A and B are shown apart, each in its own frame.
Chain A
């Protein structure tokens, strides 16, 4: 499998514009690549299909990266979509463990134990 030059079906610029309602992607992102998103509401008729799909797939926690993969949308576009859902209280975001300069020893212990159990 080639790592580069992979063809992506972005659905054209119209779709990205619609998903983000025309906002520029320069706004700060409230979620990170591995923030875990959990739905707090059910999809409603008339919602953007992408928003409804997020609510459906996030009944259990799912990272922003996974949502991006399943929606086949860029991470920044998904970030904007999630910002709106977060603003409406339709989803909850569980922030990643801050690694700061050096990760916490207890966190490293937990990672170590988890890997040893693989």
Chain B
């Protein structure tokens, strides 16, 4: 048997603990195809070393013999990287980088529920790997911005061309970013928050 004593289970390092006053959390999900830099972005803005969580998912089998009319189900364990930003003494933001296998993003129970919004990361050399993310977020009504991750070797395309290629409505912000860079990743998150603010019918009064 593979028992562990509780002492063997290592919790957060001292510097990774939240203040006792932390009272609520919000989350943002970073989506996009495999290898577009989701994990990199989580790592560049997170105040903690990114962690990995996992979930077991049950999926109905595809293309299975249906002799007895019994749905065959397969269990898959999906891992996801996440990071954390303490916004103030009370409020904490968690950033989740969806797993590479895109068919699992929306099966993850509770991942998108209650999320403030999402960032769709794209690599201009492989736009198609992020198409699915855009479509599924639209279907679900999750607000999002699209960020073009600046890979050094990737060709630069005019934004209007990218917008057309992705069939992205004008209402969705399309921005440049460098997922490796902390300030750039932060600005991407700020662009998402501004977009969320713009979705409010009434502009909040500034004090």
- Which A residues are within 8 Å of any B CB, using their own CB? 1-4, 6, 8, 10-12, 14-15, 25, 29, 32-36, 38, 43, 47, 49-53, 56-57, 59-63, 65-66, 68-77, 94-99, 101-103, 105-116, 118
Choose from B12, B55, B56, B190 the contact partner of A115 (Cβ within 8 Å). Answer: B190
Q: A34-B27, A43-B6, A114-B86 are in contact. Are A63 and B12 (CB under 8 A)?
A: no
B101 beta carbon closer than 8 Å to chain A: yes
B residues less than 8 Å from A113 (CB atoms): 87-88
Indicate if the CB atoms of A66 and B196 lie closer than 8 Å: no
C-alpha gap A11/B35 in the complex (Å): 29
- Shortest beta-carbon distance, A114 to chain B, in Å? 3
Indicate if the CB atoms of A99 and B116 lie closer than 8 Å: yes
B residues less than 8 Å from A105 (CB atoms): 197, 200, 204
C-alpha gap A10/B45 in the complex (Å): 29
Interface magnitude class on chain B: 35 or more
C-alpha gap A3/B50 in the complex (Å): 13
- Ranked nearest first, the 5 interchain pairs of A and B with the lowest CB-CB distance are A114-B87, A57-B11, A105-B204, A52-B6, A3-B100
B193 beta carbon closer than 8 Å to chain A: yes
Indicate if the CB atoms of B24 and A109 lie closer than 8 Å: no
Indicate if the CB atoms of A3 and B9 lie closer than 8 Å: no
Q: A6-B52, A74-B55 are in contact. Are A96 and B26 (CB under 8 A)?
A: yes
A residues less than 8 Å from B199 (CB atoms): 102
C-alpha gap A94/B50 in the complex (Å): 22
Q: A49-B5, A110-B87 are in contact. Are A76 and B55 (CB under 8 A)?
A: yes
A residues less than 8 Å from B147 (CB atoms): none
A-B pairs with beta carbons under 8 A, tally: 201
Indicate if the CB atoms of A6 and B18 lie closer than 8 Å: no
B residues less than 8 Å from A74 (CB atoms): 54-56, 77
Choose from B20, B34, B87 the contact partner of A111 (Cβ within 8 Å). Answer: B87
Choose from B25, B35, B56 the contact partner of A97 (Cβ within 8 Å). Answer: B25
B residues less than 8 Å from A56 (CB atoms): 6, 11
A residues less than 8 Å from B196 (CB atoms): 102-103, 108
Within 8 A of A (CB), among B127-177: 141
Indicate if the CB atoms of B110 and A107 lie closer than 8 Å: no
